[in-house]
Chain A
């Protein structure tokens, strides 16, 4: 009965949020729209990273590479055929590809699939490693993907990048992509696969003794994660209207690591909050980058760069006081929201609401 109620509430929430997305699309200026879009895309990629790092407990830092695969899939195939000669002015485009055009949706899904396939190939040797070693290996593979892209000039236009991608600054589509990704990932994590992921995170030996196939599940988590990172990367490319190998340096991965650590490793809703806080927060803090005059005196600290200093301090405070992120491994469930609406003061009296 509760499940049915939760399902209805979730659907209502999605419809309401979609309404909000339509409103933002129609009424709000393009700067805010872009930030909202970026939040949504970062939420997809944050979620995808949380599948491996938060749920399956495999510390992987390959997200930027998988994003690049998705972004380049969109970049290569959605540029209108007649504009391609302008883009590939240095080295002509590969003759087999030059006439293949795909609509954005198809390119996105194919980008995700290709990222998942690459993840499967990488995962087979790499997922035998653990902890720091796995992180370094995945980081290395992410760089290899980027370097392959930089050098496959006739396909990817190399270091020049691909421009003229039909821009997608439409909140409604990106919202729908995020909602679908959220639903699919939540369904996966609530199934017996999700339980197996968590078991592996908690204790590999005990999980194996229960009959959980470690290698299969680690690889599955890695591939699902790459799939959604590919989709997120594709949307990112479409949002910017251009893809460039330098966008996908390994430092990009740390943005998402930040999102999931801040939101809570192993919490789906946490990743959503993390994405909004990190993306929105970084924009909001832009006031620190602008010169400030108080009573006619220019305060010397307020100059470009202060924003990142303030942001870093806020992060340190967060990590010091909420070591498990905002949500930890908990989820914001309808039960908790209803409980909060009924008894808004309970949260202050005792710590934590039992999620029965």
Chain B
């Protein structure tokens, strides 16, 4: 679905991505794990058209993505759940969802999708009229997910959905990610919480300072000794 080849992205003179290749097949959950500064968020921002790549190519179903602005990218069915949730704090939950459907104009479809999202996240319906800034962290993450789903994405990219959430809430969020994927949406997940991410992922990449260090299925990487030591916090015996 999404094929990235030799992508180089630089901030000024510093290369954040030093030529990486990632494939996201249709209908799967693909995850990128890596420490701070590995370039995970940069990759997502570049796919969204928020950063310009220096070289390399990005193709989405055979269509080039390089050089388009984010309006175009969203209209192709790619959406981003930004890092740190970034809900619109002084707008109500409902308004947040409606902005998610900004690119659409089918009022009936929008109403039906809002209904659907309230079915997935009943907590959001209870807080329909509340300002999004007054929600708890977990609820804000649900809202950020719901808002992204409002544009009916084919590929949903998530930047650290577990950031700053309690372990139980993280579990809930990951269950939802899995169920979103089961309804046919492809997921590209960026995480520092390697344990959770590798458990849900079909395929995973390990990113280190702008390069892909390792790749494999989620299960393979979970059992890899090196990964265990570096990211899962288990010492070799």
Contacts and interface: CB of A to CB of B under 8 A. Distances in A.
A212 B50 contact: no
Nearest to B72: A211
Interface in B165-189: none
A210 B86 contact: no
Contact of A212 (B86, B87, B91, B102): B102
Given A198-B95, A211-B151, A205 B50 contact: yes
Central interface residue in B71, B75, B99, by most chain A CB within 10 Å: B99
A207 B80 contact: no
B104 to A, nearest CB: 9
B87 A206 contact: yes
B105 to A, nearest CB: 8
A356 interface: yes
A211 B91 contact: no
Given A195-B95, A213-B71, A206 B82 contact: yes
Contacts of A86: none
A233 to B, nearest CB: 30
B129 interface: yes
Nearest to A329: B90
A209 B50 contact: yes
Contact of A199 (B48, B82, B88, B151): B88
A195 B99 contact: yes
Contacts of A201: 90
A203 interface: yes
A346 interface: no
A210 B69 CA distance: 12
B230 interface: no
A198 B82 contact: no
Nearest to A266: B90
Contacts of B87: 203, 206
Interface residues of B, number: 26
Contact of B89 (A195, A202, A205, A207): A202
Interface residues of A, number: 22
A196 interface: yes
A206 B102 contact: no
B154 interface: no
A206 B133 CA distance: 14
B88 A206 contact: yes
Contact of A206 (B69, B74, B86, B129): B86
A355 interface: yes
Contacts of B129: 354-356
Contacts of A266: 90
A266 B131 CA distance: 15
Q: For A206, A208, A211, which residue has the most chain B Cβ atoms within 10 angstroms?
A: A211
A210 B95 contact: no
A195 B98 contact: yes
B102 A211 contact: yes
B103 interface: yes
Contacts of A199: 88, 91, 99, 102
A245 B151 CA distance: 50
A2 interface: no
Interface string A190-204: 001001101101110
Interface string A81-124: 00000000000000000000000000000000000000000000
A210 B90 contact: no
Contacts of B82: 205-206, 209
Contact of A195 (B102, B103, B147, B151): B102
Contacts of B91: 198-199, 202
Interface string A212-249: 11000000000000000000000000000000000000
A199 B98 CA distance: 10
A211 B71 CA distance: 4
Contacts of A203: 86-89
Interface string A143-181: 000000000000000000000000000000000000000
A329 to B, nearest CB: 6
Nearest to A199: B99
B39 interface: no
Given A205-B82, A210-B151, A211-B103, A198 B88 contact: yes
Contacts of A196: 99, 102
A329 B90 CA distance: 8
Interface in B131-172: 147, 151
Nearest to A324: B90
B125 to A, nearest CB: 13
Contacts of B147: 210
Interface of A: 192, 195-196, 198-199, 201-203, 205-213, 266, 329, 354-356
9 closest A-B pairs (Cβ-Cβ)?
A211-B74, A202-B88, A206-B86, A211-B103, A209-B80, A199-B99, A211-B71, A208-B70, A203-B86
27 contacts: A195-B98, A198-B88, A198-B90, A198-B95, A198-B99, A199-B91, A199-B99, A201-B90, A202-B91, A203-B89, A205-B50, A207-B88, A207-B99, A208-B50, A209-B48, A209-B70, A209-B82, A210-B102, A211-B71, A211-B73, A211-B102, A211-B103, A211-B151, A212-B71, A213-B71, A266-B90, A329-B90
